Chains A and B, each alone.
Chain A
Amino acid sequence: MFTNNAQSFLGYFWPETILVTGILLVLLWEVLYRPAPRAHAAALTIGTLVGSMVAMALVMMRRPEPASLFGGLMVWDPFAAFFKAAAAVTTALAVLLAWRARETEDMRLKGSAEFHALLLTTTLGIYLLSSATDLLTIFIGLETVSMTSYVLAGYHRRDRRASEAALKYVIYGGVASGAMLYGMSLMYGATGATKLVEMRAAVVTAAGIAMSPVLMLAATLVIVGFAFKIAAVPFHMWCPDVYEGAPTPVTAFFSVGPKLAGFAVFVRVFYGVFYQPGATGPGGADAVIPWQAVLGVVSVASMTLGNLAALGQTNMKRLLAYSSIAHVGYVLMGLVVATPDGLAAIVFYLVVYLAMNLGAFLVVIAMARELGSKDDPGEDLRHYQGLGVRAPLVAILLAIFLFSLTGLPPLGGFVGKYYLFASVVAKGGVWYVALAVIGILNSALSLYYYAKIVRVMFLEKPLDASPVAFARVHTIPLVALAVPVVVLGLYWGPPLALAFRTVKFIGL
């Protein structure tokens, strides 16, 4: 019986299986070829990711219905599939980003296999986390993502900035993981279950829910762990340093990949377990514990602090780091309202965010490569001076990404933000409206620092007017990333409908 089932579980597990095979292949190839050229590692990685996505599409086509795997440890549903696909795309782009980045130049000689294997392993962690439905798998997934992230952040062992970043990351991460694990143990103690579906059965009863202090404490501690992963205030302190210190392709990956996993698990645990529309929890809310209020505060704090801190930044990586903290705040709004609209808005926003944020980082990487030197990484804003004249195409593309991050129509970022705010307003009530007002004013505030970059590029005269030539490997992906940003701003009906279908069923 079990054997039969295990076989059919494995049918759903092909995407992960291919990833694991790929990781092993990359490492093995290095051992056999010694030293393997970087092209081989990159090709293997991309091949693995493409294979995994193809497998996912096949599973999706052949078995579209949600299914519980491995006795309830994991689940296969469109929601998980979305996050896996997004993670695979992000990783593939990260490989592309690293291909001609200044900081990963030395990979040409050695170390490329480790780098790519680590990227793939992080992706595996995101895969696991996206479909985890048991506290155990959640913890394993989260730690897989974290551990590999620590190493990736400190990939440059001799670079002091990178080492500092990695150390900070490890220490913060360790504390957050510890707190989260403690919270999980309390959850287990309070509910007597580690499977989300059983936990839900234990806390949500038809007659309403009694407030449980233990559960409150547990949930708060779990939020710490998750919020650390998505770099939400007040667990964001590592973020600017790590983003600045890590090699830029890794930073770009961090700004999207692990966050995807963080949001997926956030939704599954908090929306899945501690929320029951129509039930009466403490204070008449339909949440079991007031996690919406807690996340609401986290959301407001993230966007406000992220934006305010970004105002004064002149290092592009730091600026984008704070900007990504602010964006976490916006996305969290969709979770705070805990409605299908909100969840679908999160999914849609993450798609746009993936494209526009990676696009912005790709420009930073390309600029660092063309204008950076040994002493000056080329990440400072002043290098962008007059870029509109020196490299009009790249400057215009960066402007598109930045205005989309601001949320101006007719770009995808506007549509994404619109649906996030719409879900908040649709929920109604003073607190939600207040959240929306704070969010939208933040959105206007963010224009200042995004436009600052645009100003430097277009409004200021270049100090050195010589044209900057960018490599095709940078410009072509840039254009490719700008396409969805623009198209989703003009026509988003079907993709948004797909987002709604994605959140139609959330397996536990």
Chain B
Amino acid sequence: MNLKSRHAGAPAAGRVWGPRGALVLALALAPVAVVRAAAADEPPPAAPATAAALPGNTVELGAAPPAGAEVSAAPAPRAVLSATSVDLSTAVPVADHVDYTGTLRIRNEGTTALNVTRVEVAIDPAEATADGHALDKGVTRRPTTLVLDPDPGAFVLAPLEERVVTLRLTPGDARQVFSFVQFQTDDPETPRLSAKVAWHETHWLSLAIFSPLAGLLLIVLLPLALGKRFTDDMVRWLAVAVTTVPLVVAVYLFWQFDRGYGVATGSYGLQWVEHGVWIPRFNIEFYLGVDGTNVLMVLLTAFISWIAVFASWGITDKVKGYFAMFLLLEVGMLGTFVALDFFLFYVFWEVMLLPMYFLIGIWGGPNRSYAAIKFFLYTLAGSVLMLLAIIAMYYNTNPSFLVDGQVATHTFNVIEMTYHNDFSKALIGGMQLSHLAWVGLFLGFCIKIPMFPFHTWLPDAHVEAPTPISVILAAVLLKMGTYGILRFNFAALPDATHWAIDFVALFGVINIVYGAFAAMAQIMIDKKDLKKLVAYSSVSHMGYVMLGMAALTPEGMNGAMFQMWNHGLISGMLFLCVGVIYDRTHTRNVDNFGGLAAEMPVYAAVFGLALMANLGLPGLAGFISEALVFLGAFPVYTTYTVLAAVAVIVTAAYCLWALQKMFLGKFNEQWKGHVPEINGRELLTLVPLGVLVILLGFWPVPILNMINTGMADLILQVQSALPVATAVTSAVGG
């Protein structure tokens, strides 16, 4: 079934809230949240589109009255709410379940009597089952209700009088409820007041995002308090501590993530939602949440960052500055992956740039300055175009409500954009807005992937960056490009996705083939820089992600997402391994090595494992995701898939060649005594990655389970834009 039609068809939606009634759904994140059909004889609340609700959208021009003319304010009622949000925290046991209540006070601070004509909440229990969705696993849905208890009706408040309004929630099957209560009054200035109603709003994601920020502040402030006593080691352990918090949250997320929770189940498949307003008058919200599209990325980011902290032990120059930037980078990365407000997303996206610039530029290799500015300029050039696309999309969104019930003429809410807006109708210079916006967003994201021909910043950045930053760059930052394409291009602009999907596939294959040959060239003809080899190998492997998602089949989609995760693990391992040998020999030229297996057997095993995983050896994680991608892409893009499969041979060739040159053959006596075996700290960073690579190679189900539902929903959403929707509901790994 087409998602859009399903929501537009919610029966009660149109009655009170006008044609945009369905929009409230996005705010009421209960399993089924349908707008209340209240007393039909009452006038509808202020339509969102009315100009009066806008901040100063007119300029009055003309002669001012001459000075001396007195203007006096007429006495008027003035309605004030006691709070901007109601927390439904008081538990009230009822026969077989528990209800929750919360209160709100409205007060008249004006000089004349205030008429409150109506009080309403925007979620109605009676409609909860009318939507017809049933939870999977055979659970019968218990309805969610939120009511005024008792309903105050219309009432009059004398000056300085106040009235308490109580809300009662019967949660039913809902895990989180976001709604709002609104008052209609005759206050001439603010006739419509509203407050957010939230139940079980979690703050885990905020905790994950902002604990590194707290660490950053500590690093800045503690030297003021402790002076020289604040040693570099303390900085390092502080960094370990604050990066452990997101890791713990991510692991908790892994255990608690409801695998069957999809758009059809409710809440648009989102879990751990955090939803508040940031800049209310300008419709910018603080909106976080995870679903199948980003849950893996949160895990990956927290995990890789934690490992990278240990890999950063070798940084001895300006340690405080390094970790301050490192933690800021983690804030940006985590925020980017969980932000569901487009503006917020952009802020996090850009926040990442600065620390990356400094991390490469200050702690990097000899040519670091060039690499850093190249990275910065490339990414910024892409992201400013993305910003324009965001602005254009924003101004073409339908009116809706913020989470606290305020009327929003336009919205940055990504979920709202995805499910309740169609950008294909608006035109700019004869071009469909959705197409232009798609291109703008894609340019921003594809530079990050990086997609051929915008990839040239990547080898430079990798070669110059210190090892842990290379790890983060390859394992996390590149994924932001593909994540962004899935979340924004695919989900929010499905019609344009169909228009451009063949190019995604084509460039995916170009990435695969070009990256593989370029990596090969590093061994054969170029400067034989191992890091450059791994960098081009990343270009190649990100191509699989693009090919898989372009296929738009369950296998392809799951494969793409799983490949993002696997590439994070494998490229992380590879860069760490390169770092190990570079620390010992200060060279990365493969020709300088040989026979290292005898000197460093454990290291050889680990590096070997990483290279094998990289070439897609069956039994290791990379194989599963690449196989899924091929499986998914073959029916859709047969030629491309064949080409990509051929590139796998090249991949195998350069991986094995590198292995041979480094570890087999004659030992280079130059390094005698300079290449001690891999040490404990280095193993600590590599072993968890290696274990996961092996484990997931045999048993990928826990990971595939997490994304399966989300990917199926995403495919449905993209297909919703097709003239004839052909819903694909089966998915692998379930």
Residues on A lying within 8 angstroms of B by beta carbon are 4-5, 8-9, 11-12, 63, 65-69, 72, 75-77, 197, 200, 271-272, 340-341, 343-344, 403, 408-410, 414, 418, 421-422, 425-426, 428-430, 433, 436-437, 440-441, 443-444, 447-448, 451-452, 455, 458-460, 491-493, 496-497, 500-501, 503-508
* A4, A344, A444, A447: the one within 8 Å of B56 (CB): A344
Least CB distance from A328 to B in Å reads: 19
- Cβ of B387 within 8 Å of any chain A Cβ, yes or no, is yes
Least CB distance from A28 to B in Å reads: 30
Stretch touching chain A among B92-100, B254-262, B357-365: B357-365
A272 to chain B: which residues have CB within 8 Å? 61
> Is the pair B57, A340 in contact by a Cβ cutoff of 8 Å?
yes
What 1/0 mask marks residues of chain B from 440 to 471 whose CB sits below 8 Å from any chain A CB? Answer: 00000000000000000000000000000000
Given contacts A441-B384, A505-B59, contact A408 B353 (CB under 8 A): yes
> Is the pair B67, A421 in contact by a Cβ cutoff of 8 Å?
no
Residue of B nearest to A423 (CB): B391
> Is the pair A75, B64 in contact by a Cβ cutoff of 8 Å?
yes
B671 to chain A: which residues have CB within 8 Å? none
Least CB distance from A3 to B in Å reads: 12
Other 18 A-B pairs with CB < 8 A, given A67-B66, A409-B350, A506-B59: A8-B68, A63-B67, A65-B69, A68-B63, A75-B64, A272-B61, A343-B59, A409-B351, A421-B387, A426-B395, A428-B395, A433-B428, A440-B387, A447-B377, A455-B373, A497-B281, A501-B56, A505-B60
A477 to B275, CA, bound (A): 37
- Cβ of B369 within 8 Å of any chain A Cβ, yes or no, is yes
What 1/0 mask marks residues of chain B from 339 to 369 whose CB sits below 8 Å from any chain A CB? Answer: 0000000110011011001100110000011
A425 to B440, CA, bound (A): 13
> Is the pair A430, B56 in contact by a Cβ cutoff of 8 Å?
no
Interface size on B, residues (CB 8 A): 49
- Cβ of B279 within 8 Å of any chain A Cβ, yes or no, is yes
A72 to B62, CA, bound (A): 11
- Top 9 nearest A-B pairs by Cβ distance? A500-B56, A430-B429, A66-B64, A8-B68, A67-B67, A507-B64, A409-B347, A493-B279, A197-B63
A391 to B452, CA, bound (A): 41
> Is the pair A447, B63 in contact by a Cβ cutoff of 8 Å?
no
> Is the pair B67, A444 in contact by a Cβ cutoff of 8 Å?
no
* A12, A418, A425, A433: the one within 8 Å of B67 (CB): A12
Residue of B nearest to A71 (CB): B66
Least CB distance from B384 to A in Å reads: 4
A418 to chain B: which residues have CB within 8 Å? 387, 391
Task: Name 29 interchain pairs, CB-CB below 8 A, sorted by A.
Answer: A9-B67, A12-B67, A65-B64, A65-B65, A65-B71, A66-B65, A200-B62, A403-B354, A408-B353, A409-B347, A414-B347, A421-B387, A425-B388, A426-B391, A428-B428, A430-B429, A433-B392, A440-B388, A441-B384, A444-B377, A444-B380, A452-B373, A455-B373, A491-B278, A503-B56, A503-B59, A504-B56, A505-B61, A507-B62
> Is the pair A451, B56 in contact by a Cβ cutoff of 8 Å?
no
A307 to B60, CA, bound (A): 35
> Is the pair B55, A500 in contact by a Cβ cutoff of 8 Å?
yes
- Cβ of B598 within 8 Å of any chain A Cβ, yes or no, is no
> Is the pair A425, B59 in contact by a Cβ cutoff of 8 Å?
no
A76 to chain B: which residues have CB within 8 Å? 64, 67
A426 to B629, CA, bound (A): 40
A426 to B409, CA, bound (A): 13
A408 to B350, CA, bound (A): 7
Residue of A nearest to B392 (CB): A425
> Is the pair A410, B429 in contact by a Cβ cutoff of 8 Å?
no
Residues on B lying within 8 angstroms of A by beta carbon are 55-69, 71, 278-282, 346-347, 350-351, 353-354, 357-358, 361-362, 368-369, 372-373, 376-377, 380-381, 384-385, 387-388, 391-392, 394-395, 428-429
> Is the pair A422, B394 in contact by a Cβ cutoff of 8 Å?
yes
A500 to B353, CA, bound (A): 31
Least CB distance from B570 to A in Å reads: 31
A506 to chain B: which residues have CB within 8 Å? 59-61
A394 to B716, CA, bound (A): 53
A69 to B69, CA, bound (A): 12
B368 to chain A: which residues have CB within 8 Å? 459
Residue of B nearest to A431 (CB): B429
> Is the pair B62, A508 in contact by a Cβ cutoff of 8 Å?
yes
> Is the pair B351, A69 in contact by a Cβ cutoff of 8 Å?
no
> Is the pair A444, B354 in contact by a Cβ cutoff of 8 Å?
no
B353 to chain A: which residues have CB within 8 Å? 408
A11 to B29, CA, bound (A): 56
> Is the pair A422, B391 in contact by a Cβ cutoff of 8 Å?
yes
Least CB distance from A394 to B in Å reads: 15
* B62, B372, B380, B428: the one within 8 Å of A197 (CB): B62
> Is the pair A68, B66 in contact by a Cβ cutoff of 8 Å?
yes
Residue of B nearest to A504 (CB): B56
Of A11, A408, A491, most buried by chain B (CB within 10 Å of CB) is A408
* A9, A437, A496: the one within 8 Å of B388 (CB): A437
B373 to chain A: which residues have CB within 8 Å? 448, 451-452, 455
Least CB distance from A75 to B in Å reads: 5
Given contacts A68-B67, A504-B56, contact A455 B61 (CB under 8 A): no
B69 to chain A: which residues have CB within 8 Å? 65, 67
Of A271, A340, A460, most buried by chain B (CB within 10 Å of CB) is A340
Residue of A nearest to B389 (CB): A425
Least CB distance from A238 to B in Å reads: 31
> Is the pair B381, A77 in contact by a Cβ cutoff of 8 Å?
no
Least CB distance from B623 to A in Å reads: 40
A440 to chain B: which residues have CB within 8 Å? 384-385, 387-388
A271 to B62, CA, bound (A): 11
Least CB distance from A60 to B in Å reads: 14
A429 to chain B: which residues have CB within 8 Å? 428-429
Least CB distance from A157 to B in Å reads: 42
